[in-house]
């Protein structure tokens, strides 16, 4: 199975900060990577697919990059609505896996 | 706009079978190249992919659950289902259904349903 490792597990930041979350795959997944945002009690929301494509309706302050085994999610200027948990997910094979999550907290 | 809604018992006894249904509204489950999926999240923990059934009827399961798992589609009722047998407390989680277009990520999710395994 392909393992996904996110870092950091928790991130403390302030409104307006630039925030970067990293996701590493245990083997190459090309660009078959997605990022989700989840708020307490809610279903995850797709932000980024195919490593860097912005899902319709998602603010442009969110961006993704990477290929192979190393990927990043960047929030260019953190907004109050962005405090949440973020997950990466690989869909390279017919056995999908998620990272363990990164909680973005208010500093 | 397509919407998904999970339904099923909120409490299941250990060793019994957990059965959930995901109803699809706003579109036909048999149209388009979609993978109809189940994902779960134990309380306070991360997301775990359970499995999915493709538009062609092929099923793909998480290897750790494969021996206990069945995912099926009922096109006449426009829904798909999950059956997980021999459940234990470790199967306690919020269960989500979701849709993934082919070569795409999970773009539409249900609201989730909490299932507790307890006697």
**What's the per-residue H, E or C state across A42-72?**
CCCEEEEECCCEECCCCCCCEEEEEECCEEE
Residues of chain B contacting A89 with CB distance shorter than 8 Å: 47, 49, 105-106
Is the pLDDT assigned to residue B31 strictly greater than 90? no
pLDDT at site B7? 98
Q: Summarize pLDDT for B70-86 with one digit per residue, the tens.
A: 999 999 999 999 999 99
Q: What percent of chain B has pLDDT over 70?
A: 100
Largest CA distance in chain B: 41
Q: What is the pLDDT of residue B87?
A: 98
Residue in B with minimal Cα distance to A55: B107
Tokens 């993934």 label which residue? B100
**In B, which residues are within 8 Å of A46 by CB distance?**
105-107
Per-residue pLDDT of chain A (107 residues; tens, 9 = 90+): 899 999 999 999 999 999 999 999 999 999 999 999 999 999 999 999 999 999 999 999 999 999 999 999 999 999 999 999 999 999 988 889 999 999 999 88
CA distance B114 to B43: 9
Note whether A94 contacts B60, CB cutoff 8 Å: yes
Q: What's the pLDDT at A60? A: 98
CB of A44 less than 8 A from some CB of B: yes
pLDDT at B103 exceeding the cut of 90 = no
């Amino acid at each position: 199975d392909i393992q996904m490792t996110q870092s950091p597990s928790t991130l403390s930041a302030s409104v307006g900060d630039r925030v970067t979350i990293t996701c590493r795959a245990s083997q190459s997944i090309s660009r078959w990577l997605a990022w989700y945002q989840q708020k307490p009690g809610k279903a995850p929301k797709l932000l980024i697919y195919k490593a860097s494509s912005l899902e319709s309706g998602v603010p442009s302050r969110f961006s993704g990059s990477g290929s192979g085994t190393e990927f990043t999610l960047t929030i260019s200027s953190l907004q109050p609505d962005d405090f949440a948990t973020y997950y990466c997910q690989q869909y390279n094979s017919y056995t999908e896996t998620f990272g363990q999550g990164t909680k973005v907290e208010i500093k | 706009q397509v919407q998904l809604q999970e339904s099923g018992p909120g409490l299941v006894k250990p060793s019994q079978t957990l059965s959930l249904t995901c109803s699809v509204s706003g579109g036909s489950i048999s149209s388009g190249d979609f993978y109809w999926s189940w994902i779960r999240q134990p309380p306070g923990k991360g997301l775990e992919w359970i499995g999915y059934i493709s538009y062609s009827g092929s099923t793909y399961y998480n290897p750790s659950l494969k021996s206990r798992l069945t995912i099926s589609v009922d096109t006449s009722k426009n829904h798909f289902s999950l059956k997980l047998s021999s459940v234990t407390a470790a199967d306690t989680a919020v269960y989500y259904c979701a849709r993934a277009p082919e070569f795409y990520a999970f773009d539409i999710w249900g609201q989730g349903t909490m299932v507790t395994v307890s006697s």
